């Protein structure tokens, strides 16, 4: 709204920076405001809330008081004031590709256009081109943008974009062959975000080949429309609706370009600030110092020049990674190969699609040493779960299977349903005999905060429940998190030794990166599982690991990097 009103762009950017910093905080902004004392609903002293908020980078006096007002009253007078000035529909118009704040403001003020429908009508009737600086092409662009907006889908799961990116790379290599020196994806995919908005590729090649490479890119079989096509970059829409950009550059620019296009934007701004402090300017091609130009063929050289070690892409969110790098305190991030076992899998005993043996053999083929079979308890009606009778039959099958397996162990587990009232649907006598017991909620997910928190906390206090599976219940782009008070759950986890799981299922990634980092700060361990219902779904551990890496997790933070004999000592049921 400030943008549309023509406010000083640096002021607008200050709000963006503050919003970005809050989004990437390692805890809830409310917790910062409260000054670390989550038990009190408000800061002890009125003034300290503002002071606490100001510790956030990019939050100064003005934004801190507005946030304080928002947290205290649930409303912000300044926001309401702006809302009264700018018609809501103008903000919709801002979402049209190629319409920015300047254009939206002129459409509103000069043509009185305040809805998408009015904009479409005006463009169709040739009214838009009457504005100074707008012509037929601008008008056509707006109509195309409106069409794109109406069929626009949300961000996609990384698990669909990653294989697509691999396919694009393979096709480019096939088409251009030796002309391509290096090719990679960059952007949010390289940072391994859970969802991806658009896809960025970088190609290095001799300048003589640049035009051919861009041409080949725009002609790939899955390209539907070409939006931009210049001398160094092209931007297309693929048949799956994804926007895909490709940038071509000379090999000597590779290091700076890869850093630049991997981002995040805010990370880039911070490292360019660092470069400036050291007397350089940094862009996507080079370091500049007066007339001198310094090129970097690798990312390592770029960071080295800034006095930093290489920073893994998953950490590049301007969330303290630069300070940590400078202090030599970057985490040694967990890797897929560190995992020794998987503590949440399902079989045909409940809603899985494969037998326990098929799951076990697939896991072993992937290099794991053990899995826990954690079928649903019968309380979750839709999955035809196991009850106290059937689970004993399942144990007999597991015992027999373990005799046949070499160098691999199947553990007896359960994913126990925590009923809406907090009760459990399996006798304690059964739970006591398991190797590991997870508990989770699948029903009554809309309970208010107090109720669902009490429900989960009650389960956490049960002596035989080792971990809470997918604690927040989110389904990415589909279902919001439950109202569970995670700060309280973490506190109870510290007290009881109950673990909070990281579910690696690609649509869950639950806990997410922010919560994982919080766990680590509290000194809590976790387990990272596939939640596989089919042998193919062990693949999700790959995405789960990257999610954990985004949460700064090291191997030591994840218990199933241990052999089972060691791991079992950490489970609550085996502790005294």
In the complex, which residues of this chain contact DNA (CB under 7 A)? 8, 10-11, 13-15, 17-18, 54, 57-64, 96-104, 129, 132-139, 141, 187, 198, 200, 228-233, 243, 245, 265, 268-269, 272-273, 276-277, 281-285
The position carrying tokens 């908020």 is 53
Q: Which H/E stretch holds residue 333?
A: none
CB of 172 to DNA, least distance (A): 17
Which of 97/556 has CB closer to DNA? 97
163 Cβ contact partners less than 8 Å away, ≥ 6 residues apart: none
The position carrying tokens 């099958």 is 397
Which of 154/281 has CB closer to DNA? 281
CB of 74 to DNA, least distance (A): 20
On the CB side of 455, how many CA atoms lie within 13 Å of its CA?
27
Which of 209/520 has CB closer to DNA? 209
CB of 533 to DNA, least distance (A): 36
The position carrying tokens 């809309």 is 446
CB of 549 to DNA, least distance (A): 22
Which of 137/332 has CB closer to DNA? 137
Which of 10/332 has CB closer to DNA? 10
Which of 265/461 has CB closer to DNA? 265
Which of 138/443 has CB closer to DNA? 138
Strands annotated E in 154-264: 156-157, 182-185, 195-196, 198-204, 223-229, 233-238, 243-249
Say how many residues make up the chain: 576
* Cβ–Cβ under 8 Å, residues 499 and 466: yes
CB of 107 to DNA, least distance (A): 9
CB of 160 to DNA, least distance (A): 19
Separation CA 64–CA 69 (nearest Å): 9
* Residue among 114, 82, 79, 119 nearest 98 (CA): 119
Which of 282/545 has CB closer to DNA? 282
CB of 180 to DNA, least distance (A): 17
* Cβ–Cβ under 8 Å, residues 21 and 13: no
CB of 431 to DNA, least distance (A): 51
Separation CA 437–CA 435 (nearest Å): 7
Separation CA 451–CA 155 (nearest Å): 32
Separation CA 492–CA 487 (nearest Å): 9
Which of 105/363 has CB closer to DNA? 105
473 backbone φψ class: left, alpha, beta (φ>0; ψ -120 to 50): left
Which of 62/121 has CB closer to DNA? 62
6 Cβ contact partners less than 8 Å away, ≥ 6 residues apart: 101, 105
CB of 201 to DNA, least distance (A): 11
Say if strands 436-440 and 409-417 run parallel, antiparallel, or are unpaired. parallel
Which of 283/358 has CB closer to DNA? 283
Separation CA 232–CA 214 (nearest Å): 8
Radius of gyration in angstroms for the set of CA atoms belonging to the chain, rounded to a whole number: 27
CB of 237 to DNA, least distance (A): 11
Q: Which two tokens stand for residue 294?
A: 């310094």
User: Helices 210-218 & 158-176, crossing angle to 10 degrees?
Assistant: 130
> Residue 430: is the preceding peptide bond cis (ω within 30°)?
no
Q: Enter the DSSP assignment of 561.
A: G
CB of 234 to DNA, least distance (A): 7
Q: Which H/E stretch holds residue 10?
A: helix 9-23
Strands annotated E in 285-444: 287-289, 292-294, 341-345, 370-373, 409-417, 436-440
Which of 244/545 has CB closer to DNA? 244
Which residues on neighbouring strands pair with residue 502, listed in sequence order? 528
* Cβ–Cβ under 8 Å, residues 468 and 489: yes
Q: Which two tokens stand for residue 125?
A: 């009737």
SS3 of residue 150 by DSSP: helix
CB of 303 to DNA, least distance (A): 17
Which of 284/554 has CB closer to DNA? 284
Reduced 3-state DSSP string for 452-514: HHHHHHHHHCCCCCCEECCCCCCECCCECCCCCCHHHHHHHHHHHCCEECEECCCCCCECCHH
Separation CA 565–CA 576 (nearest Å): 17
CB of 145 to DNA, least distance (A): 7
CB of 89 to DNA, least distance (A): 16
Which of 270/351 has CB closer to DNA? 270
């Amino acid at each position: 709204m400030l943008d549309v009103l023509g406010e000083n762009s640096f002021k607008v950017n200050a709000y963006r920076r503050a919003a970005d910093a809050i989004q990437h905080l390692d805890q809830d902004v409310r917790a910062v405001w409260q000054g670390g004392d989550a038990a009190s609903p408000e800061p002890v002293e009125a003034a300290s809330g503002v002071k606490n908020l100001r510790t956030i980078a990019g939050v100064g006096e003005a934004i801190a008081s507005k946030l304080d007002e928002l947290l205290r009253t649930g409303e912000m007078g300044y926001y309401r004031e702006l809302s009264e000035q700018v018609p809501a529909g103008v903000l919709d118009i801002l979402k049209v590709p190629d319409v920015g704040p300047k254009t939206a403001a002129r459409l509103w003020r000069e043509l009185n256009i305040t809805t998408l429908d009015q904009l479409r009508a005006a463009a169709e009737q040739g009214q838009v081109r009457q504005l100074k600086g707008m012509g037929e092409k601008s008008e056509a662009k707006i109509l195309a943008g409106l069409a794109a907006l109406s069929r626009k889908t949300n961000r996609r799961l990384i698990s669909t974009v990653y294989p697509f990116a691999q396919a694009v790379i393979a096709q480019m290599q096939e088409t251009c062959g030796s002309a391509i020196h290096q090719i990679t994806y960059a952007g949010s995919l390289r940072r391994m975000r859970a969802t991806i908005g658009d896809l960025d590729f970088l190609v290095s090649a001799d300048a003589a080949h640049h035009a051919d490479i861009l041409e080949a890119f725009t002609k790939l079989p899955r390209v539907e429309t070409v939006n931009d096509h210049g001398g160094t970059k092209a931007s297309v829409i693929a048949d799956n609706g994804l926007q895909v950009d490709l940038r071509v550059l000379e090999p000597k620019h590779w290091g700076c370009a890869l850093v630049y296009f991997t981002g995040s934007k805010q990370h880039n701004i911070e490292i360019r600030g660092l470069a400036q402090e050291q007397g350089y300017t940094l862009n996507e091609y080079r370091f500049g110092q007066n007339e001198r130009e310094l090129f970097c063929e690798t990312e390592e050289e770029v960071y080295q020049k800034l006095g930093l070690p290489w920073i893994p892409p998953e950490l590049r969110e301007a969330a303290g990674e630069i300070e940590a790098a400078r202090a030599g305190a970057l985490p040694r991030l967990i890797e897929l190969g560190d995992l020794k076992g998987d503590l949440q899998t399902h079989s045909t005993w409940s809603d899985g699609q494969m037998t326990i043996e098929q799951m076990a053999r697939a896991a072993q083929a992937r290099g794991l040493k053990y899995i826990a079979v954690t079928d649903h308890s019968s309380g979750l009606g839709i999955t035809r779960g196991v009850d106290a009778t059937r689970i004993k039959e399942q144990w007999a099958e597991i015992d027999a299977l373990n005799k046949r397996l070499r160098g691999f162990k199947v553990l007896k587990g359960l994913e126990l349903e925590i009923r809406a009232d907090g009760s459990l649907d399996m006798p304690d006598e059964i739970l006591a005999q398991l190797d590991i017991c997870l508990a989770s909620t699948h029903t009554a997910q809309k309970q208010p905060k107090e109720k669902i928190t009490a429900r989960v906390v009650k389960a956490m206090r049960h002596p035989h429940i080792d971990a809470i599976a997918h604690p927040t219940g989110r389904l990415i782009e589909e279902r919001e998190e439950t109202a569970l008070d995670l700060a309280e759950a973490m506190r109870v986890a510290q007290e009881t030794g109950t673990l909070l799981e990281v579910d690696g299922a690609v649509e869950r990634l639950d806990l997410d990166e922010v919560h994982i980092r919080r766990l680590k700060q509290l000194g809590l361990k976790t387990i990272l599982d596939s939640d596989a219902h089919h042998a193919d779904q062990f693949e999700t551990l790959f995405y789960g690991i990257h999610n954990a890496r985004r949460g700064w997790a090291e191997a030591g933070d994840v218990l199933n990097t241990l052999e089972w004999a060691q791991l079992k000592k950490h489970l609550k049921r085996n502790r005294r």
